[in-house]
Amino acid sequence: MAERNGNSNVITREYLDSLLIETRYMNSTNPDTGMTLYGEKFASPIMTAALSHLDHFMFDGATKQYAEGAARAGAILWLGMAEEAEVEMCVAAGARMIEIIKPYSDRDLIQKKIRHAEKLGLLAVGIDIDHPFGEDGSPDNVDGYEMTALTTEELRQICSSTKLPVIVKGVLSVYDANEAIDAGAAGLVISHHNNRIEYALPPLAALPEIKKAMKKEVPLFVDGDIKTGMDAFKALALGASAVCIGRPLMTAIKNDGAEGVAAYLANANAQLAKAMAYTGCYTLDRMDPTVIHNGRNL
């Protein structure tokens, strides 16, 4: 196992693996993994994560294969920081898509990207709230773009500026969850954004408290070392509406391109279906947090 040293990804993996599942076979039946999100139906709550710059550090065409793989699997495609042409290419691949927008200091750029997303008919847009600061707490700078933390009022203006659902990504506290909901967020991504800060609370540790304390019910999404259908099941049982898989799909793209992505997502959904059948949680609205136990307490 990797050295901890405060690495939030390692801590999150340890926490995920500590969660154990009890079985409930009586009165169970064949599972249905289908879900409805923002008025549209999908075959699985397992989605891609909002990866960025795949063509930069993998190979030219990796982003296109990522999108094509999601489309073949019927999965929702999340995409991170991207230029307009890249977003258009992903839409052309056929996947329903959610674009995550950075907290650009140039707030007009945020609006420009939202207008582009509206034009393309995306399923939703999202705003990173956890990417305003660099390693020393100064304003972050990504690809020459300076970032600035959003205020609740600014987020309210963003949410009210579009008919698209606005999802807030990078929530890891009841405080941020309720500030986002007050501002009109239509969904939250519980995430520490791939170890943005060391010693971060694992998303699944934060999820139940956030769900319980939310001022208004909105879809809750989880990312952070979700690798398998069993990981997905644990998140869904604890209150997530859907989950995002990221880094394993990068390996799938590298090895087998779009087909590898589609196959990985299909296999993860099969694992999820197995867990649902074995626990009596045979539809997403029957998910029950009491089937999950923290093995560290046993």
Cα dihedral 130, 70, 238, 201 in deg (nearest 10) = -30
Give 78-81 contacts, CB < 8 A, sequence gap 24+. 78/47, 78/48, 78/49, 78/50, 78/51, 78/126, 78/244, 79/50, 79/51, 79/52, 80/50, 80/51, 80/52, 80/53, 81/52, 81/53, 81/142, 81/143
Cα 273 to Cα 34: distance, rounded to the nearest angstrom = 10
**Which residues, at least 6 apart from 151, have a Cβ–Cβ distance to it below 8 Å?**
none
What is the phi/psi pair of residue 73, to 5°?
Answer: -85, -10
Which amino acids are annotated catalytic?
193
Distances (CA, A) of 12 to 15, 101, 114, 116, 189: 5, 25, 32, 35, 15
User: What dihedral angle (degrees, nearest 10) is formed by the CA atoms of 212, 214, 217, 220?
Assistant: -80
